[in-house]
Amino acid sequence: MKSPLASLLTGAVVLGAATMASAHFQMIYTPEMALEQGGQIPIKLVFTHPFDAGYTMDMGTPEQFFVIRTRGENEPVRTNLKEELKAIEWASLTNTGKAWETMYQARGGDHIFCLIPEPYWEAQEDSYIKQNTKMIVNVGGEPGAWHEPVGLPTEIVPLAKPYDRWTGNVFQGQVLLNGEPVPNAEIEVEYLNHQPLLDSNSFAAEPAVTVPQESFAMQTIFADDNGVFTFGIPRAGWWGFAALDLEEDFTYNNQPCSHDAVIWIQAKDIN
C-alpha cells in the first residue's frame, strides 16, 4: 500500500491553472436512493471528479454490471445489467467523456448495484485505476441485505444504512479485499457538488457549496485496524467514499493499477 502522502498526491488532479484537489470517482447515479414505491429508475455510470464537476474520464466497457435484489428472508436475486447498458457522452464543466446508462425496474426491498469497470489508464500518473463501485437503492422501506458483502474483489460494506442517513448522522463502512478487512485503508471522501442533469447528461454549472480552502474539496480519512471508517455527514446530498490502492502490487497490462473500492450514500435534511 502506498504511503498516505504518495496516495494523496496520486489522487490530486490539476485542472488548467487551478490547483483544486479533486479525486477520481466512479459514479453509479440515480436521483433517489430511498423510494416510496417501485418503478423505472434511470442509472448513469460516470467516471469523473464529482466535487468540481471536473474532467470526465472515458469509461471502457464495464467488465461486470449487475444488481442484487434482497427482500426480507427471500433469497437474493442477481440480475446481469451489462447487456442493458447504452453508451453515452457525459459533459463535465471542462470536457465530455464516454459513460453508460440504463433504465431499471425497481421493486420492494434493497437493490445493490455493483460495477466492476475496465481499468482506466491515467497517463498523468503512469498507472491504471480500477474502482469497483456499489450503490444501494431501497424501495418502500422494506428490509434487505444492505449490510452483507456481495463478494467484489475490493468492496466497502456499509455498517449503517446508506439510504437512511439524516444530516448530522455518521456513516460507517468496512473496507474489504477479497473478503478480508484492510487495516488502515486510506479513504477519499467527496461531495457531489454539481447537480447531475439527466436529460442532457451533464453537470449543472453552479456548485451547491464553495470551499474555504482547497483541502476541503477532497477529504481524506483512514480506517482502523479492522478496516472500519467513520464519517460525520455535514450536508444533505450524495457522498462518495473511495478506498484506495487496496491490493499491493496489483497490475493490469503489466502496469501498476490502483485497485480501489467505492460506495455512494445519500443524506437528507430533517425538516
pLDDT tens figures, 241-263? 999 999 999 999 999 999 999 99
Per-residue pLDDT, averaged over 74-91, amounts to 97
Per-residue pLDDT, averaged over 78-106, amounts to 98
pLDDT at 93: 97
- Among the listed residues 8, 98, 112, the one whose alpha carbon sits nearest the alpha carbon of residue 47: 98
pLDDT at 22: 62
pLDDT at 2: 45
Q: Is residue 232 over pLDDT 50?
A: yes
pLDDT tens figures, 135-158? 999 999 999 999 999 999 999 999
Query: Secondary structure of the chain in the HEC alphabet?
Result: CCCHHHHHHHHCCCCCCCCCCCCCEEEEECCCCEECCCEEEEEEEEEECCCCCCCCECCCCCCEEEEEEECCCCCCEEEECHHHCEEEEEECCCCEEEEEEEEEEECCEEEEEEEECCCEEECCCCEEEEEEEEEEEEECCCCCCCCCCCCCCEEEEECCCCCCEECCCEEEEEEEECCEECCCCEEEEEECCCCEECCCCEECCCCCCCCCCHHHCCEEEECCCCCEEEEECCCCEEEEEEECCCCCCCEECCEEEEEEEEEEEEEECCC
Record the cell numbers describing residue 41, joined without a space. Answer: 429508475
Question: What is the identity of the amino acid at 56?
Answer: T
Is 0.85 surpassed by the pTM of this model?
Answer: yes
Q: Is residue 217 over pLDDT 60?
A: yes
pLDDT tens figures, 10-30? 343 333 333 345 689 999 999
pLDDT at 23: 87
Per-residue pLDDT, averaged over 81-104, amounts to 98
How many domains in the chain? 1
pLDDT tens figures, 159-168? 999 999 999 9
Per-residue pLDDT, averaged over 101-116, amounts to 98
Higher model confidence: residue 32 or residue 73? 32
pLDDT at 271: 81
- Among the listed residues 169, 168, 167, the one whose alpha carbon sits nearest the alpha carbon of residue 158: 169
Looking at every residue in the chain, the average pLDDT score rounds to 92
pLDDT at 5: 42
Q: Which residues, in sequence order, are bridge partners of residue 70?
A: 110
pLDDT above 90 covers what percent of the chain? 90
pLDDT at 198: 98
CB 134 within 8 A of CB 155: yes
Q: How confident is the model at residue 228 (pLDDT cuts 50, 70, 90)?
A: very high
Per-residue pLDDT, averaged over 86-106, amounts to 98
pLDDT at 115: 98
Alpha carbon of residue 208 to chain centroid: 19
Per-residue pLDDT, averaged over 78-93, amounts to 98
Alpha-carbon span 77 to 266, nearest angstrom: 24
Higher model confidence: residue 117 or residue 7? 117
Structural domain including 55 reads: 4-268
CB 119 within 8 A of CB 64: no
- Please name the residues in contact with 229: beta carbons below 8 A apart, sequence gap of 6 or more: 172, 173, 174, 175, 185, 187, 221, 222, 223, 241
pLDDT at 39: 97
